[in-house]
Amino acid sequence: MKISKDQIAESNQKEQNNHRVQFEFLEDQLSRKNVHVAELIQKLADFQVAIPSWALGAGGTRFGRFSYYGEPSNLTQKIEDVGIIHMLTRTAGAISLHIPWDVPEDYTAVKELARSLDLKFDAVNSNTFQDQKGSRESYKFGSLSNVSQAVREQAIAHNKEVIGIGEKLGSKSLTVWLADGSSFPGQNNFQTALHHTENSLKEIYKSLPIDWKMFIEYKPYEPNFYSTVIQDWGTSFMLANACGEKAYSLVDLGHHLPNTNIEQIVSTLMWKGKLGGFHFNDSKFGDDDLTVGSIKPYALFLIFNELVYGMENNPQNPDLAWMIDASHNIKDPIEDLIQSLEAIQEAYAKALLVDQVALKLAQQENDVTQCQEILQGAYRTDVRSLIQMARVQKGGAIHPLKAYRELAIRKKLIEERGKHTIATGL
């Protein structure tokens, strides 16, 4: 299933005039504030977010899973679905694979398909939180932290195998998230578990190709409910430093206890040059993996404000890996991902409108009210026509979701794949 440029052009035809009027109005407003509109649009157009291969089917919980029909049932169909999202939005230029959920059968074919859809392979993700059929050791009581050396070695070997798969695909980073932890006091010796984890990560780090990065993802709880070995940014930061300069912390927005100031964590990690990337999503309570910007859009804006500041002032921090990590329990996965991409672009565009010089000045004068006015002035700007212009300049749809529905893509996917295909993943 592919979408053609002509189909996009036809869908844009109807939206063109309205878009142009809104854009010219905003362009005039911003130019009078000395905003370099063309520069800003270029930054939006260059901003590419990786789509997780495990979020293209219907997600579920222990209480149930409701299929969405026409789901991708193999890696080829998953890449095609990311191709559809990228054709419409022009901001989803990469796919992130999870191993063993997405082990390629034919590397040449998979790479050729991705290239034809203008897609790259972003970080590869290891999986030592589920036991695989026929595996010798079990991860029931942990993987890299396990008291059993045999289990740790199996988990280390798996991560090295994942690096090998990523190398063949042209990926340049490995993401390690561990479910390791305990559900009852006394179950684990915290120091032993952390020591094993640090040594195991160092072992994996030795296998990283020279131009690769290793992202260490933290999470406070689930599936363990008393302790998690890599529970917070501080532990991830400590382990990344212990491993070396190619190791970084990865911030999954859903992996924070309620009311955590995530933008401050982002600022701190960038200052220390140890922020590797993001898993974007939103949440009300726990690791809900909801649509980005659907619950706390202002919090996302504040995070991007720190990112924009860091990208301008922290050359010690490398380019960041941008990725969505969401699960779609009741919405069409493709529609949900399109909405998430829109929310990310919106937060970034608004953050780029923050007058950082004026803000620094107001901070110097402790003019708290003015600081808030500067931030909220940017946040209250309707930037949608800027994002649309960035898409149109790259051949995308002015309204991706509208185009997706008008072109009846889901209906065509169901005709092509049937109603009973199930995507591997969460």
* Strands 227-228, 181-182: pairing kind: antiparallel
- Smallest CA-to-CA distance from 176 within 193, 159, 160, 164 is with 159
Integer Cα distance of 305 and 301 in angstroms: 6
User: 361 is written with which tokens?
Assistant: 């000045």
State the amino acid at position 223 in one-letter form: P
* Residue 89 or 283 having the CB closest to Mn ion: 283
Integer Cα distance of 15 and 74 in angstroms: 35
Contact residue for ligand LRH among 279, 350, 384, 391 (CB under 6 A)? 279
State the amino acid at position 137 in one-letter form: E
Positions in 230-269 near Mn ion (CB under 5 A): 252
Cα–chain center distance at 288:
14
Contact residue for ligand LRH among 80, 81, 198, 217 (CB under 6 A)? 217
Integer Cα distance of 312 and 4 in angstroms: 37
139 contacts which partner out of ligand LRH, Mn ion, none, CB within 5 to 8 A by kind? none
Interface with ligand LRH includes 426 (CB under 6 A)? yes
Interface with ligand LRH includes 143 (CB under 6 A)? no
Integer Cα distance of 16 and 398 in angstroms: 8
Burial class of residue 153 in the structure, from the number of CB atoms within 10 Å of its CB (0-12 exposed, 13-18 middle, 19+ buried):
middle
Residues contacting Mn ion: total by CB under 5 A: 3
The contact pattern for ligand LRH, residues 325-364, with x = CB under 6 A and - = no contact, is x---------------------------------------
* Residue 211, CA atoms < 13 Å, CB-side half-sphere: 5
Positions in 74-103 near ligand LRH (CB under 6 A): none
The distance of closest approach from Cβ of residue 127 to ligand LRH in the complex, given in angstroms and rounded to an integer, is: 7
Do residues 397 and 12 make contact, with C-beta atoms less than 8 angstroms apart?
A: yes
Contact residue for ligand LRH among 12, 91, 125, 385 (CB under 6 A)? 125
Q: Measuring CA to CA, how many Å separate 231 from each of 17, 181, 201?
A: 50, 9, 15
- Smallest CA-to-CA distance from 269 within 243, 249, 247, 299 is with 249
71 contacts which partner out of Mn ion, ligand LRH, none, CB within 5 to 8 A by kind? none
The helix/strand/coil state of 355 is coil
* Residue 127 or 345 having the CB closest to ligand LRH: 127
The contact pattern for Mn ion, residues 308-327, with x = CB under 5 A and - = no contact, is -----------------x--
* Residue 165 or 378 having the CB closest to ligand LRH: 165
Interface with Mn ion includes 279 (CB under 5 A)? yes
198 contacts which partner out of ligand LRH, Mn ion, none, CB within 5 to 8 A by kind? none
Residues found in the chain: 426
- Smallest CA-to-CA distance from 3 within 74, 92, 131, 67 is with 92
The distance of closest approach from Cβ of residue 164 to Mn ion in the complex, given in angstroms and rounded to an integer, is: 22
Contact residue for ligand LRH among 122, 198, 287, 332 (CB under 6 A)? 287
The distance of closest approach from Cβ of residue 250 to Mn ion in the complex, given in angstroms and rounded to an integer, is: 7
Do residues 123 and 96 make contact, with C-beta atoms less than 8 angstroms apart?
A: yes
* Residue 222 or 416 having the CB closest to ligand LRH: 222
The distance of closest approach from Cβ of residue 70 to ligand LRH in the complex, given in angstroms and rounded to an integer, is: 22
* Residue 253 or 352 having the CB closest to ligand LRH: 253
Contact residue for ligand LRH among 102, 122, 198, 252 (CB under 6 A)? 252
Integer Cα distance of 120 and 408 in angstroms: 26
By the criterion CB under 6 A, which residues form the site for ligand LRH?
Answer: 54, 125, 177, 217, 219, 252, 279, 287, 325, 426
By the criterion CB under 5 A, which residues form the site for Mn ion?
Answer: 252, 279, 325
